[in-house]
Amino acid sequence: MSRDIESRIIDIVEGIRSSVVSIITTRLMVDEWLNATPMKGLGTGFFIDDKHIITANHVVQGATELSVVTPDGEEYEAELLGTDPEFDTALIRTRGIGSVKPVRLGDSDKLRVGQMVLAVGYPLGLLGEPTVTLGVISAIGRSIRTPVGILEGLIQTDAAINPGNSGGPLLNLDGEVIGVNTAIIAGAQGIGFAIPINLVKLSVEEILRFGRVIRPRLGIYGVDLNKPMAKYFRLPVDRGILVAGVIPGSPADDAGIRQGDVITAIDDEELTSIVQLKVHLAKKFMEGNRLFNLTIVRGRTRYRVRVEI
């Protein structure tokens, strides 16, 4: 590693250190004797302004009490403002900490495979200074099944992510947060996932604006199509969203979209990722749009369908 990159990483870590906090949760668990027992949980979060903290939904899900611990060991009570299980995002608020340096949010649409990234957080409940790991973006647009549902459009990285890292920031070498660490694959090495920050921004905007997430549902599960996939499945296009599943009774089902279709455009905007589709739907939905035009490729035929959300 060159000295310039090493110095840049050190500067990034020093700049973000005070912005990343440990999140301590309390949940009531019922044992086999039906006794309610408080259970502590740990995660990570980061300040986006002087009082709002982003973390992962599964970190705070079901919590009856929340508190944050700063790198200097001070603990403050916090309140949950809203959650977004679909994007595994949560927004909490705390007061009384004083002057806080918020993180800078980047643009996850500009990410490239092979780009170096830093994962910051409190793995395994280790308090004090947050832990930093270095890696690269291994893949973009991953979809995985988790205990709380399917997560789509994920960033895959080999930067070490361990239990307790969830909710912490994934940063580029400009010091910008480009993702929120969310999941690891049990039994695998060097495979961790993060929610793209552009999806997280949508969650935060909706929670602050409406007090909850109001999300349009197209009703598909999809993966980003690339050239190797297109060649393997003998598809006539190599860019778009390959439909892996359609929810019965959903707008997509009503519009006749099927598993194996490729969505190549929405409202004449070319699509290259599931993240791009979700951002377009959410933004237009908040503007009052309910009708969307999709371009579908099925076999050798190209269709244009109108979907009402």
How far apart CA 49 and CA 15 sit, in angstroms, is: 15
How far apart CA 203 and CA 197 sit, in angstroms, is: 10
Angle of helix 274-286 relative to helix 197-210, nearest 10 degrees? 20
Beta pairing class for 52-55 and 301-308: unpaired
How far apart CA 168 and CA 186 sit, in angstroms, is: 19
As given in the structure block, the two tokens for residue 4 are 């310039």
Query: Does the annotation count 280 as an active-site position?
Result: no
The owner of tokens 């244009």 is 304
Active-site residue among 88, 203, 224, 261? 88
Residue type for position 96: G
Collapsing DSSP to helix, strand or coil, 136 comes out as strand
How far apart CA 148 and CA 8 sit, in angstroms, is: 37
Asked whether 139 and 113 are in contact (CB, 8 A), the reply is yes
What does the DSSP 8-state code read for residue 105? E
Query: Does the annotation count 7 as an active-site position?
Result: no
Degrees to nearest 5, angle at CA 150 with 145 and 151: 100
Angstrom CA distances, 57 to 168, 179, 203, 209, 299, stand at 12, 14, 11, 18, 39
Active-site residue among 19, 166, 203, 273? 166
Query: Does the annotation count 166 as an active-site position?
Result: yes
C-beta atoms surrounding 80 within 10 Å: 17
Active-site residue among 22, 52, 58, 273? 58
Asked whether 194 and 133 are in contact (CB, 8 A), the reply is no
Angstrom CA distances, 307 to 170, 181, 182, 239, stand at 35, 33, 31, 21
Asked whether 43 and 84 are in contact (CB, 8 A), the reply is no
List, by residue number, the catalytic residues: 58, 88, 166
